Structure 1
Amino acid sequence: MLTLPLEPTDDRANPLFKDESGCAKWLSQLQLTNLQLAHSLLLTQINELNRYPMRGLERLNTLERLRETVGYVQDDYAKKLIAKPLPLNESELMVFVAIVQLWQAMVLGYQRCLQAYMAGDKQLAKHGALLCQRCLLYSGLEIFEHLRTGYEFDAKLWHQLHALYAFAEQQDLQGTEVLDPLNGKHRSSCRSIYVKTLLACYAHPAELTRSQLHLLDNWLAQWSSMVTVERTYTVSKGDAQPLAVDLNNKYGLQSLKQVAQSDSIRYLAMVPLSKLLRVKTILLQQGQTPQQLELCDHCSGVDCVEFLTALHRYWCEDHSTRFGERYPVAQNAQLCYRMEGIYAHLTGKPFRQPGRDTGTDSVARRQIETFGRVLQDAHNKELLEMGFPLETWQFENESILGARLTREDTFGGRLSYNQLIALRPSDAETFMLGATAWANVTRGGKLQIGVRYLPGVAEAVSIRAAGINVSASEKYVPAFLLQAVPALKTPASLIIPRDWFQPGRVVEVLHQNRDTESMKMGFSVERGIDYERVSFSVV
């Protein structure tokens, strides 16, 4: 039987409203122009309401009255956190904690109602499906908030979500539709909201833009009802494999390879959703508009195709295996970031416009001529003092394509998804370039990242636009030349600052030994938050 971890109510609790009509009056006077104040007042009063002893049906009606305002304020407040680098600063962290606490308050309120239902409250007897659906909804939103912000959460939140769904199954309430005016279809069930939560959390929410998060919510409101939750599964050749969830475990969705058959395993049949995603992608590519396909009123077809393709990859394709086995690594690495910082640590000197040699330049040039590289350690202290940090990170595991690392300290720079970094393992003499594949903060406050290595040995260079229409005074910018990797059949490429790429643009490349050559940009291979990797040909 479901166990709800609820504290007793308190006769001393004194919320500003004690029933639905009082709540409606209070909400009518709530000023939403000051978002922080409105959020704080909602959190304070709902927490007080949750402590206040009242009849189950009156509590339910009061919570239902609060839902629209809570949803509006939470959505607006959460915009402050979308795509923020990690770890959050102090003011951002306060916003995040407040948002999570308000979701928790809503969960607690509906759990009190569910507790009364389980105790036999006759007024709530016909509301079992609605109470389970609301508890699942707000429990899921609390989990999703952590995932899209990039902060690790207590595994008991997954246990709570799964236990609620298991209870809905036991009561045969999982498929019963209830009114949900805040849902896109205005009706929902325990099963559809559970599926929506699981799939949203499996779609890499921390990597999504604000518009993609909005699309994800709208699309799953429409599509989650077509995904069934089964105790067994069958797979035909070529079909999308089901995803699995263990109702007794502390995880969300997993691939079939990650679970063992048991009575607590449920399978999400992904074939209908896979077909829908592919059909809509094909129709968009054939010229139909997102509006015609009921996908979006303001998005471009290209953006929708890109996002539909990504969702199909996350949900319907096997991405549990990697090219190159991961293995534990017990060593440290030095890490730097930002174009100027990486340039400084690769060359041993800060980037500046080329001119007359200074003493530092001459030393660096002689080291390159003698050793083929700059002797980094001689310059690290000097560069740190100039504002180019070099942080110590611990490898967790590594493959030939990437690694997982944890920063030793709980303080340091902030990193974003798909940001350029340079990494030098303790047993290596040179830095290699990579991009952050993901980032999150542990419950202990340490930053963790996944790094995707960029192929090729990196050389720091300076580039500037060239050609007949370019002024001779055009300034240089730092860039990196990645050498070809024949074993991977990867040609040489240039890493340049974001938004600097133009197809066919001719650039002058200045090497550390002062040699120059002209290159013509081809196409964009990949684009990150602060860099772009492009193909080129020597002119």
Structure 2
Amino acid sequence: VGMWRAVHRSYQDAVREGLARVRVADTLNEVWRAQSPHEAYVAVLLVELANPYGRSERELNWVMRWAQRFAPYCALDTNVEGQKPGAYGVDTDSDCSLRPLGLLARTPGLLRFDGSTLAIQIQAVLAQFKRGVKPAALGLGEDCSASVSARLLLSLYRPWGLASSGRRFPRRARGGRVELTGDWLAIGFALNGELFQQPRASATPRGRLSDDMSLLTFGERVPRVTETKPAAPARAHPLAFESEQWEVLDQSVSGFRLQRPSDGVRLEHHQLIGIRPLDADQLLIADLSWLMYRSEGMLEVGVNVLPGVPRVVSVRPQAQTDGREPFHQAFLLPPSPALKSDGSLVLPPMWFRPGRLVELREGDAVREVCLRKLLLRGTNFDQCSFEPAGQLNPA
């Protein structure tokens, strides 16, 4: 018996015995200190709707607590006819959780999930945040701030209170393999064929002194020798920048579902990764949106590709006026009209601040940009929109 089939049977047993709505004391329920079988069942369904494999440990603990907090505001009934295809339902005779009603057969065990009252509750909680009420006073816990709670609740509002939003791009099954690396410098190395270095225009006085020393020693400046670099994969091994190969389970325009044996490089939720199908030349950058270990020992991940062909750039905060602030590796994603996405910058973690001025160098081109809106924040990156703030002369 699968896990979901066992959960459904437990709920059906409670309904059959007339106990589904009977509340009993439950010390594990941190909010109400009591729970009915119906509420316990709904809480499990809510956790599954919250994309649990895409949550950090801290977020998942909050989601489980809040699922118990909001479960009493959800309903299950047999009124499935005439509902929108995107509304959620659950087949209690199956081995799966909630699915859009449009994808479910009309079986005797089919129930409609109604979270409309829960949506009103979430709106009320968000309104209380604006009035300065603390999360603890609203039964959300003392270990989360109002801003973090509001952001997480907003992400739960649609799946918990409304309906399935559907996929923007359909998935299709596909075999094959991809190369994947989760190292920030390795991604830049794979794109440029060389390790990130400080731009030559920002050379330190010590670097210029070496040129003067050659002038004093040889009577003239010795020309720099340009080495012919081997291809990036050939140079990766000495620098420990080798990538892993993953099996492709399916893909869409916006991402991949991949798997590998559980032993391998450690990965984190919402980590920036570089990914390249073996039959392609271009490496793309992506967000690791969820991770899941299978019982057979395989690690399965969902990869959301950031739109655009990435380019390596050098960035540093423009607030430093002495020019000694070092540059950092970042990635520029140009606009992608086909995917209706504007250009963006992928910066080191916690770099984004609205209105922050950043010096951006790409080759010999130098410009100043102003950071505007945070698009995505991961464990090792900030993706944000930007706009020109003027032109700079190279140092």
Evaluate the alpha carbon distance shift between residue 485 and residue 213 of structure 1 in structure 2; reply closer, same or farther with a 3 A threshold.
closer
- SS in structure 2 at match of 1:385: coil
Listed one character per residue, the Cα deviations across residues 11-60 of structure 1 (whole Å, up to 9, x for unaligned) are: xxxxxxxxxxxxxxxxxxxxxxxxxxxxxxxxxxxxxxxxxxxxxxxxxx
Tell me, yes or no, if structure 1 residue 249 matches structure 2 residue 94: yes
- Give the alignment partner of residue 260 of structure 1, picking from 92, 105, 113: 105
5+ unaligned residues in a row in structure 1: which ranges? 1-154, 365-374
- Give the alignment partner of residue 179 of structure 1, picking from 20, 25, 40: 25
- Number of the residue aligned with 2:276: 424
| Whole-Å separation in 2 of the counterparts to 1:501 and 1:270 | 35
- Number of the residue aligned with 1:346: 191
- Number of the residue aligned with 1:466: 318
| Whole-Å separation in 1 of the counterparts to 2:164 and 2:224 | 51
- Number of the residue aligned with 2:155: 310
| Whole-Å separation in 1 of the counterparts to 2:169 and 2:381 | 25
- Number of the residue aligned with 1:219: 66
| 1:244–1:267 CA contact under 8 A, matched in 2 | yes
1:124-139 equivalences under 5 Å are none
1:289-304 equivalences under 5 Å are 289-290=134-135, 293-297=138-142, 299-304=144-149
- Number of the residue aligned with 2:345: 494
1:85-124 equivalences under 5 Å are none
| Whole-Å separation in 2 of the counterparts to 1:328 and 1:243 | 25
| 2:276–2:283 CA contact under 8 A, matched in 1 | yes
| 1:255–1:320 CA contact under 8 A, matched in 2 | no
**Share of identical aligned residues, percent?**
27
Evaluate the alpha carbon distance shift between residue 347 and residue 453 of structure 1 in structure 2; reply closer, same or farther with a 3 A threshold.
same
| 2:376–2:384 CA contact under 8 A, matched in 1 | yes
- Number of the residue aligned with 1:388: 241
Normalised TM-score (structure 2): 0.82
Tell me, yes or no, if structure 1 residue 452 matches structure 2 residue 296: no
1:205 positional shift: 2.5
| 2:115–2:162 CA contact under 8 A, matched in 1 | no
Letter in 2 for 1:189: S
Evaluate the alpha carbon distance shift between residue 217 and residue 245 of structure 1 in structure 2; reply closer, same or farther with a 3 A threshold.
same
User: How many pairs does the alignment contain?
Assistant: 367
- Number of the residue aligned with 1:485: 336
| Whole-Å separation in 2 of the counterparts to 1:412 and 1:200 | 28
CA-based RMSD: 2.8
Evaluate the alpha carbon distance shift between residue 322 and residue 213 of structure 1 in structure 2; reply closer, same or farther with a 3 A threshold.
closer
| 2:91–2:109 CA contact under 8 A, matched in 1 | yes
1:397 positional shift: 1.8
- Number of the residue aligned with 1:169: 15
Letter in 2 for 1:351: F
1:423 positional shift: 1.4
Normalised TM-score (structure 1): 0.62
Tell me, yes or no, if structure 1 residue 272 matches structure 2 residue 117: yes
| Whole-Å separation in 2 of the counterparts to 1:246 and 1:500 | 46
Relative contact order: is structure 1 or structure 2 higher (C-alpha 8 Å, sep ≥ 6)? 2
| Whole-Å separation in 1 of the counterparts to 2:143 and 2:244 | 43
Listed one character per residue, the Cα deviations across residues 184-219 of structure 1 (whole Å, up to 9, x for unaligned) are: 323222111111122123212233345544443443
Evaluate the alpha carbon distance shift between residue 358 and residue 421 of structure 1 in structure 2; reply closer, same or farther with a 3 A threshold.
farther
Tell me, yes or no, if structure 1 residue 201 matches structure 2 residue 48: yes
1:313 positional shift: 1.9
| 2:56–2:269 CA contact under 8 A, matched in 1 | no
- Number of the residue aligned with 2:354: 503
- SS in structure 2 at match of 1:162: helix
- Give the alignment partner of residue 336 of structure 1, picking from 178, 181, 187: 181
| Whole-Å separation in 2 of the counterparts to 1:325 and 1:176 | 42
| Whole-Å separation in 2 of the counterparts to 1:213 and 1:441 | 16
- Number of the residue aligned with 2:167: 322
1:242 positional shift: 5.0
| 2:54–2:291 CA contact under 8 A, matched in 1 | no
| 1:384–1:390 CA contact under 8 A, matched in 2 | no
| Whole-Å separation in 2 of the counterparts to 1:290 and 1:450 | 31
Greater fraction strand: 2
1:512-527 equivalences under 5 Å are 513-527=363-377
Listed one character per residue, the Cα deviations across residues 332-358 of structure 1 (whole Å, up to 9, x for unaligned) are: 222222211101111112223345898
Question: Which segment drifts farther, 440-449 or 342-351?
Answer: 440-449
| 2:186–2:241 CA contact under 8 A, matched in 1 | yes
Evaluate the alpha carbon distance shift between residue 320 and residue 492 of structure 1 in structure 2; reply closer, same or farther with a 3 A threshold.
closer
| Whole-Å separation in 1 of the counterparts to 2:32 and 2:263 | 45
- SS in structure 2 at match of 1:251: coil
Listed one character per residue, the Cα deviations across residues 341-391 of structure 1 (whole Å, up to 9, x for unaligned) are: 1011111122233458987x7535xxxxxxxxxx8xx23132133111211
Evaluate the alpha carbon distance shift between residue 215 and residue 405 of structure 1 in structure 2; reply closer, same or farther with a 3 A threshold.
closer
Evaluate the alpha carbon distance shift between residue 352 and residue 197 of structure 1 in structure 2; reply closer, same or farther with a 3 A threshold.
same
Evaluate the alpha carbon distance shift between residue 388 and residue 206 of structure 1 in structure 2; reply closer, same or farther with a 3 A threshold.
same
| Whole-Å separation in 2 of the counterparts to 1:160 and 1:298 | 33
Evaluate the alpha carbon distance shift between residue 267 and residue 522 of structure 1 in structure 2; reply closer, same or farther with a 3 A threshold.
closer
Evaluate the alpha carbon distance shift between residue 181 and residue 290 of structure 1 in structure 2; reply closer, same or farther with a 3 A threshold.
closer
Letter in 1 for 2:232: H
| 1:436–1:452 CA contact under 8 A, matched in 2 | yes
1:459 positional shift: 0.6
- Number of the residue aligned with 1:363: 228
1:296 positional shift: 4.2
Evaluate the alpha carbon distance shift between residue 221 and residue 345 of structure 1 in structure 2; reply closer, same or farther with a 3 A threshold.
same
Letter in 1 for 2:129: L
Tell me, yes or no, if structure 1 residue 228 matches structure 2 residue 75: yes
- Number of the residue aligned with 1:81: none
Listed one character per residue, the Cα deviations across residues 476-525 of structure 1 (whole Å, up to 9, x for unaligned) are: 211111111233443322111101233333333332x4443333333322
| Whole-Å separation in 2 of the counterparts to 1:363 and 1:213 | 50
Letter in 2 for 1:224: A
| Whole-Å separation in 2 of the counterparts to 1:358 and 1:447 | 48
| 2:87–2:164 CA contact under 8 A, matched in 1 | no
| Whole-Å separation in 1 of the counterparts to 2:335 and 2:272 | 19
Greater fraction helix: 1
| Whole-Å separation in 1 of the counterparts to 2:138 and 2:199 | 54
